[in-house]
Structures are given as structure tokens and as C-alpha cells.
């Protein structure tokens, strides 16, 4: 898992080759991105009223027949995918491109193969990994290259693992061959590959816990194959072992890290056993999703914080807030104490939302906390400060932490690492799309 010289050189080439604008906060990036695409994306981070106002303006907005097509990928790639399956998304883009240009693009299935999505064409988009979803968005705009006046991509490095950064090269080359400008919007440090430095005092030297996956089959919904709708699932190899917190679930895009985490937290349907144990027995697993904005969009601060636990949540929130501010001066506005936030009508910033959601979960001392891609939407410095603060607060309460990531940032902060790899199943096993195998990082590896 060490960063290889070739990858490092590719990153340096990438930084000098693709025009990139850097921002200190998610909010600043989103505002600049909305201006770039003429308000075509509603603001998720500014509260429900502003979201619906933006949505109404998009609905009412006239589109001149002569307007140049604007190709873009949003910071959450699902926000620019309107249909239920990759095939439907790519077919729609292909038909749109055919109407706009005399030179028809490659067929959708060929483009899907180019971006590693051939096996997922009729899979529900909601069951794709974050990396697979952004590759789908890239395949979509690849089809539209001949008729687009410009391509703008927001915050791509939060979603793609290093092994797939070459897909951006392919996409950029396609647009350049058409004489079309490409620009990336990224958060500061988002594309850095150097590991974060472990900090002394992040909690107990070892916080042991155990997990068990037995005969586990994860429900992936239905595979929409033309006129047939057949249920499919993923198989997970058996695991029964001890771990040490903080534990890192590491692997390339689409290797099953988040699927297993959702099973542990009871967030998806499954058959078999998926459990985490502490000294007193089975623990509740609390999951903090990567896409926290969709998780909180329709809910007020009062709804996010259960009334019976509000006082305890306030204590943990302020502890996390102060811990983050000791480690770094957060980008953007100051982080206010919990009591002031409850009286302040302004919407929470993304860093504040992440602190609040972690605080709500850490009130439960008989739990395990999973942070799924916790750096999404944060600058590198803010992300490292946030994860370090959460681990410190969790360990102080005896709560183990699992971090899910494809980035090399967290390897030196983790006290145990488990590597995820997706394997094909046999042709006779038609009910399983793939098998997830989980292995221990060899001693001395980095």
C-alpha cells in the first residue's frame, strides 16, 4: 500500500497538466462551481429552504436553443446522474449527443467498458461504490465531449482511488482532442498522496475489539436486465478475529468496504452474521456515511440530536470542536460552541455537520464508530484534525473507531489495517455478482 514513485510522478504530472482551482472549504468550492454551471446544481449545504429555492429556479429556468452545452461532474457524482442504472444514464447521454452532433459517439456499452463499468450496466446506481459512481459520471460526460463547450469537474480526488486517476487522463484527452477546455475544482490538499503523520496522545495505545462475518450475503437489490428483474447479492468471505482501534478498512474503489460497513450497521439487508464485539459482548455499530449532506438535508439540528441525549451530545460536540481547533485553525468561519449553534439561525457548515454527527454517535459508549471516507468535503488539514479529534474522543469513551478510505493518508494513524478485494464468482453462481475477500496487512507493510 505504499505510495509508489510512478504514482508520485503521475501526480506531479497531473497537477501541472490539468488546470485546477483550489478552495479552502466545501462551501467556497460549491459556490464557485454553481457560478460556473449557471446555478444548475441546488445547494445541499445551505439549508432546506435554499435547496428548494434553487431547485425551483432550475425548474423555471428557460433554456435557449442556442445555448452551449455545459458538461460537468458535481462534487457528489450522484447529483449529476438522473436515472436508475448506468445503462440508462449512458443511453440518455448517447441519445443527447446524437441530437447535438453529426458525429455519433461510441455506443454506451463500449464506453462503459472503457471506464471499468461493463459488469455494472444494469445494476442499481444506489448500489455502486463512490468510485464507481464518479467513473459513471465520467463515462457520461465522455459521451458528450463532442457537443460540450467546456468540462468542469468538482472535487474528484475524494472519490477516486489512485489506480483510477488515469481515467481522468483519458477523459481530459478526449475533451482536448475536441478542442474543449477542462478545469478541476478541488479542496486544498485533496490531491496530496503523502500519509498523515501519527500524533501522540490520540487515545489508548491499543483499544481492542473483535468482529465476525459468517456466511454473509449482502443484498444488492435487483439487476435490471432488460425486461427481467432478478435479485442479486454479494458474498463475503468468513472473518472471525481481533482488531485494534483505530482500524483502517483500505482498498481500491468498489472493493466492498462500504457494503460490509453498512451490513455491520444494519443499513442494508443481508443474510448470515455480521457483528462487532467488545469486552461486554456485541456492540452497536454507528456509521457516518461519506455523503453526510444528503443524510442531513431534510432534518433540523433538533431532529439530528435526540432530545433525551441533547446535553450529552453538547458536551461531546464542544470537546470535538475544541480538539479540532487546537490542531488546526479550521478553514472558513469559526466553529461556535453547541449552545450558540442552537440559537444561531445560520445553517451548519460541513465540518460542523460532521462534528455534530460524530458527537451524536459517541454518546453511545457501547458502540463502534465507522467513518466512511471522512475526508470528503474537507481540506486535508481539516480532515486530519477532524479524524484525530474523533479518535481521541472515542478512545476516551472506550469506543473503537473504523476508518474507511482508499487514500494513503490514514495508514500511519491506524493500529490495524484490513484490505478489501473484490473477486469474481463462478459462472454457476448466478445469484452472486462478486465475492469480497478481507485480508490482514502484512507486518511491516505501509
Q: Is residue 210 within 8 Å of 276, Cβ to Cβ?
A: yes
Q: Cα angle at 436 between 434 and 442, to 5 degrees?
A: 145
Ramachandran angles phi, psi of 302, nearest 5°:
-65, -35
**What DSSP string runs through 274-313?**
EEEEETTEEEEEEEE-S-HHHHHTT--HHHHS-GGGHHHH
Strand partners, 217: 235
Determine if the peptide bond prior to 246 is cis (ω within 30°): yes
Q: Give the span between the Cα atoms of 244 and 192, in whole angstroms.
A: 27
Burial of residue 254, with CB atoms counted within 10 A of its CB: 0-12 exposed, 13-18 middle, 19 or more buried:
buried
In Å, what is the CA distance from 370 to each residue of 168, 265, 286, 361? 29, 9, 6, 10
Strand partners, 420: 438
pLDDT value of position 428: 62
Residue 291's CB is within 10 A of a number of other CB atoms, namely 17
pLDDT value of position 55: 62
Q: Give the span between the Cα atoms of 25 and 181, in whole angstroms.
A: 24
Q: Is the dihedral of CA 188, 191, 192, 195 positive or negative?
A: positive
- The owner of cell 473503537 is 400
> Please, what are the averages of pLDDT over each run of 10 residues along the chain (446 residues)?
41 63 92 82 68 66 61 90 92 89 84 91 84 93 91 87 82 90 92 78 73 93 54 89 95 90 93 92 92 69 77 93 85 75 73 92 94 93 94 94 92 92 77 88 54
Burial of residue 52, with CB atoms counted within 10 A of its CB: 0-12 exposed, 13-18 middle, 19 or more buried:
exposed
Q: Is residue 58 within 8 Å of 42, Cβ to Cβ?
A: yes
Q: Give the span between the Cα atoms of 91 and 97, in whole angstroms.
A: 10
C-alpha cell at 228: 427481467
What DSSP character marks residue 123?
B
Q: Which of 237, 219, 273 is nearest to 420 (CA)?
A: 237
Domains of the chain: 5-187 (3.40.50.300), 207-440 (3.40.50.300)
Ramachandran angles phi, psi of 193, nearest 5°:
-110, -10
Ramachandran angles phi, psi of 310, nearest 5°:
-65, -45
Element (DSSP H or E) covering residue 48: helix 48-60
**The pTM is what?**
0.86
C-alpha cell at 64: 435557449
C-alpha cell at 180: 474543449
How many CA atoms lie less than 13 Å away from 230 in the CB half-sphere?
9
C-alpha cell at 314: 453538547
Q: Give the span between the Cα atoms of 124 and 128, in whole angstroms.
A: 7
Amino acid at each position: 500500500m505504499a505510495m509508489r514513485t510512478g504514482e508520485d510522478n503521475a501526480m506531479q504530472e497531473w497537477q501541472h497538466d490539468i488546470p485546477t482551482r483550489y478552495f479552502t472549504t466545501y462551501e467556497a468550492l460549491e459556490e464557485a462551481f454553481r457560478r460556473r454551471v449557471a446555478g444548475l446544481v441546488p445547494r445541499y449545504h445551505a439549508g432546506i429552504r435554499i435547496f428548494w429555492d434553487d431547485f425551483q429556479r432550475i425548474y423555471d429556468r428557460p433554456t435557449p436553443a442556442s445555448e452551449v452545452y455545459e458538461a460537468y461532474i458535481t462534487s457528489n457524482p450522484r447529483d449529476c446522474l438522473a436515472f436508475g442504472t448506468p445503462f440508462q444514464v449512458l443511453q440518455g447521454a448517447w441519445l443527447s449527443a446524437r441530437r447535438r452532433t453529426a458525429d455519433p459517439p461510441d455506443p454506451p456499452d463500449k464506453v462503459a467498458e472503457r471506464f471499468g463499468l461493463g459488469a455494472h450496466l444494469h445494476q442499481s446506481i444506489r448500489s455502486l461504490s463512490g468510485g464507481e459512481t464518479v467513473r459513471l459520471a465520467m463515462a457520461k460526460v465522455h459521451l458528450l465531449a463532442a457537443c460540450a463547450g467546456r468540462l468542469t469537474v468538482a472535487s474528484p480526488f475524494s472519490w477516486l482511488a489512485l489506480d483510477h486517476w488515469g481515467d481522468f487522463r483519458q477523459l481530459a484527452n478526449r475533451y482536448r482532442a475536441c478542442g474543449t477546455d477542462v478545469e478541476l475544482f478541488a479542496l486544498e490538499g485533496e490531491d496530496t498522496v503523502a500519509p498523515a503523520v501519527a500524533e501522540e496522545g490520540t487515545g489508548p495505545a491499543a483499544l481492542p475489539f473483535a468482529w465476525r462475518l459468517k456466511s454473509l450475503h449482502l443484498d444488492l437489490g435487483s439487476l435490471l436486465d432488460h425486461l427481467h428483474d432478478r435479485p442479486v447479492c454479494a458474498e463475503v468471505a468468513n472473518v472471525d478475529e481481533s482488531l485494534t482501534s483505530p482500524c483502517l478498512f483500505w482498498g481500491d474503489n468498489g472493493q466492498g468496504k462500504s457494503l460490509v460497513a453498512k451490513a455491520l450497521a444494519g443499513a442494508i439487508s443481508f443474510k448470515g452474521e455480521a457483528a462487532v464485539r467488545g469486552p461486554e459482548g456485541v456492540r452497536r455499530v454507528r456509521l457516518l456515511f461519506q455523503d453526510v449532506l444528503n443524510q442531513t438535508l431534510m432534518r433540523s439540528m433538533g431532529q439530528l440530536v435526540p432530545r433525551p441525549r441533547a446535553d450529552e451530545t453538547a458536551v461531546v460536540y464542544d470537546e470535538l470542536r475544541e480538539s479540532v481547533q487546537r490542531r488546526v485553525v479550521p478553514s472558513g468561519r469559526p466553529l461556535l460552541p453547541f449552545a450558540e449553534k442552537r440559537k444561531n439561525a445560520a445553517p451548519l457548515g460541513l465540518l460542523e455537520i460532521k462534528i455534530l454527527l460524530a458527537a451524536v454517535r459517541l454518546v453511545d459508549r457501547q458502540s463502534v464508530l465507522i467513518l466512511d471516507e471522512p475526508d470528503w468535503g474537507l481540506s486535508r488539514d481539516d480532515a486530519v484534525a477532524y479524524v484525530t479529534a474523533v479518535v481521541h474522543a472515542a478512545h476516551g469513551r472506550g469506543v473503537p473507531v473504523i476508518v474507511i478510505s482508499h487514500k494513503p493518508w490514514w495508514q500511519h494513524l491506524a493500529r490495524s489495517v484490513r484490505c478489501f478485494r473484490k473477486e469474481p464468482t463462478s459462472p454457476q453462481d448466478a445469484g452472486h455478482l462478486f465475492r469480497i475477500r478481507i485480508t490482514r496487512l502484512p507486518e511491516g507493510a505501509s
